[in-house]
Structure 1
């Protein structure tokens, strides 16, 4: 009987039908989205705690709604990265460096400036989501594409709503 030896170094590792090489661009794009969402989440928490205006009750609640939704999305993105056999962990320094969304001091910000920052962050998040969708489409990863497309659909609606609010 002939024995077949398999060298694990030569064997292509696959996760759900994709190789690490095929998912590398997706994971990189997911990590950039992940980092931006983390900073965005922190900003929303600060806006929630520090908003003051005649619109306090409305914005206080809306910022809470947003950061709860973002928290769920961060978890979904982290789990998607894990699906590909990698870990989403990044240090705070790595997150700050990788994120295009920047922290802002919110203690003295006007409510309208907080909403402007939120809308600005939506533009950055949307761009990062497009990067993920494009990477997923190139690799034929329709699951990641669908997850992020759903995020985009909601983000576009929330952008419209906050943009409409800011015109008052």
Structure 2
């Protein structure tokens, strides 16, 4: 079996990098959604939501960088054009969203898509004995599940 420079099976690393590129594309869409709702939110909850959305987009921006660096660590090239992201992303695109409930639902729906992809990567990275990717996915999942719970609480809905 051929191993890459970090001691992982080359073929499995290549496949993981492809999956991570899918996640990267989805995170870029999620990030843009967060920027849009941060800019356009209106209403009595403006101050709280404006700050929360900024917190979320800053976190998403960090995760985008972590994903790109992990793809590079696995020996592959991260996607880096909006065209590539839009061809690959399954996260819903939100446009001109200014209502609080619509914005929160977009976040919940987006995180659901991200979590589905992350769980798939988590299983594949465990199979490849890729602890670096596995730990990253585990951390992302833990944080995002909590965010979903909080957003659903804001909506007065159960997870």
Question: Which TM-score band (shorter chain)?
Answer: over 0.9
Counterpart mapping for 1:71-86 below 5 A: 71-86=61-76
| Contact 1:15/1:83 (8 A) holds in 2 | no
Which deviates further from its counterpart, 124-133 or 81-90?
A: 81-90
Unaligned runs of at least 5 residues, structure 2: none
The reply on whether 1:143 has 2:116 as its aligned counterpart is no
| Contact 1:35/1:99 (8 A) holds in 2 | yes
Counterpart mapping for 1:1-168 below 5 A: 12=2, 14-107=4-97, 109-167=98-156
Partner Cα distance (1:167, 1:22) in 2: 42
TM-score normalised per structure 1 = 0.88
CA RMSD of aligned residues (A): 1.6
TM-score normalised per structure 2 = 0.93
Higher-Rg member (1/2): 1
| Contact 1:106/1:114 (8 A) holds in 2 | no
- SS of 2:79's equivalent? coil
Report the CA distance between 1:143 and its aligned residue: 1.5
Aligned residues: 157
| Contact 1:47/1:63 (8 A) holds in 2 | yes
Partner Cα distance (2:2, 2:108) in 1: 43
| Contact 2:41/2:49 (8 A) holds in 1 | yes
- SS of 1:15's equivalent? coil
Report the CA distance between 1:20 and its aligned residue: 2.4
Unaligned runs of at least 5 residues, structure 1: 1-10
| Large movers: runs of 4+ above 3 Å | none
